[in-house]
Amino acid sequence: MEREQLRRFRMGCCVGRGGFGEVYQAEMASPGGLTRTIAVKLLRREVGADAEALRRLRDEARLLACIRHPVVVRGFDLVRLDGRIGLVTEFVEGEDLLTCLRGEDRLPLRPLLQVIAELASGLSAAWSTTGEHGRPLRIVHRDVKPTNVRIGRHGVVKLLDFGIARFSDADREARTDSDVVIGSVPYMAPERFVAKAAASPAADVYGLGCLLYEGLAGRRFHDDGRIHVVSAMAVDSGRSAAHLAERFAQLPPLAPAIVDAMRSCLSHDPAARPAPADLAADVAALAESAVGPTLREWCRAHVWRIGPPRLATLEGRVLVESPIVLDEPAVADAPMGEVVPPRIVHEPRPTLDPSFYAKGGIRSGHAEAIEVGAVAGAVAAGCFVIGMIAAGVALAVTVAGFAMFTGAGS
């Protein structure tokens, strides 16, 4: 490919950073002379051709190319910049939902309901999206949380980061083991903590219930986001019901229909939660009957804040794309355009230091991979439970650190 036919990227500020890479705002200039503002999610340079992070990025690119819904962020292409593989998506100027739920100018009831209805509609579309062969992909996002929701300056709502989404396409590259669950602990549905539990839209609906509660109460539904606390409730419906009653008692006065809708989303039983399409219709109707500004009106009056600057090595540089070659170490000395066969690398799974539990467990708000193994025996006090076998299960947990581009905060 001739150099003048390649796209150029003027890298702006770093707007997000996670365990496997960074997200930059950038100006992308095409060979035809058109320039657009985009976001580019770049993996770290050391991520190899057989890395799970790369496989998930490629899967995410395929999903975003298939989903046709205004709430789901648009994916444009995969690109190789400065020796790093990246995903180019649309850039939404605004703030993440977490920022919009903080401070004196926080999102009020009516626009909050509109945001939840829009997200539910987008999740419904993702579930029913068909792939290249015309079969439904059955996409479950699995990481619905405030920092993965973007509110644009003109009132648009965007759902970001399908990096750990589960879908049914046989051609997907990333393969999550049946005894591994990934997500952000404070927003994970109870059934997600159970080994071999099937992913379903009900899990994403639970995440929406957590978002709605957080917006109304000013605090997270699982305020104590430590994994041993949240997962203990996941396998004990009575404990879960007591937690829900305690949290709902702390809510401000609300219309009963809003409380009922939120209660159904946060039901311990996934079968009792509404389908995303039904939830979208119900919450949109509640928003219509609510008083106050609409989402667009609130956005027009809102004072948009700029987050703290992040140190970023690529900011201000102009990068020209190069051919995507998956085996980074082998291609380092290869001529431009030469395709080198990928090298298969089998990496051992990381293990967890026993002091992890004494230090308080997983940092809340970040997507994590949790490997769960059922071991016969009674559950001792202070342990948490994910799978139950007969009289009880003692649980061993390993964190594989699967957080991809979680953004700031949470």
Alpha-carbon distances of 150 from 98, 197, 284, 287, 299, rounded to whole Å: 9, 29, 19, 19, 12
The helix/strand/coil state of 144 is coil
Q: Based on the residue annotation, tell me whether 223 is a catalytic residue of this protein.
A: no
Per the CB < 8 A criterion, the answer to whether 384 and 396 are in contact is no
Q: Please, which residues have CB within 8 angstroms of residue 313's CB and are 6 or more apart in sequence?
A: none
At residue 86, φ and ψ (nearest 5 deg) are -140, 160
Tokens of 221: 């539904």
Alpha-carbon distances of 78 from 8, 57, 61, 165, 338, rounded to whole Å: 14, 9, 7, 18, 18
Any alpha helices (H) in 74-176, and if so which ranges?
Answer: 97-100, 109-128
Tokens of 342: 């990928």
Per the CB < 8 A criterion, the answer to whether 64 and 74 are in contact is yes
Tokens of 118: 């829009």
Q: Please, which residues have CB within 8 angstroms of residue 43's CB and are 6 or more apart in sequence?
A: 20, 21, 51, 53, 54, 57, 84, 85, 86
- Expressed in percent and rounded to 5, the helix, strand and coil fractions of the chain are 30, 20, 50
Per the CB < 8 A criterion, the answer to whether 372 and 189 are in contact is no
Per the CB < 8 A criterion, the answer to whether 107 and 211 are in contact is no
Per the CB < 8 A criterion, the answer to whether 143 and 164 are in contact is yes
Selected catalytic residue, list 143, 161, 169, 204: 143
- Per DSSP (E only), the strands in 244-366 are 318-320
Q: How wide is the angle at C-alpha 278 spanned by C-alphas 193 and 288, nearest 5°?
A: 120
- Per DSSP (E only), the strands in 82-228 are 84-90, 94-96, 149-152, 157-159, 180-184
Residues belonging to the active site? 143
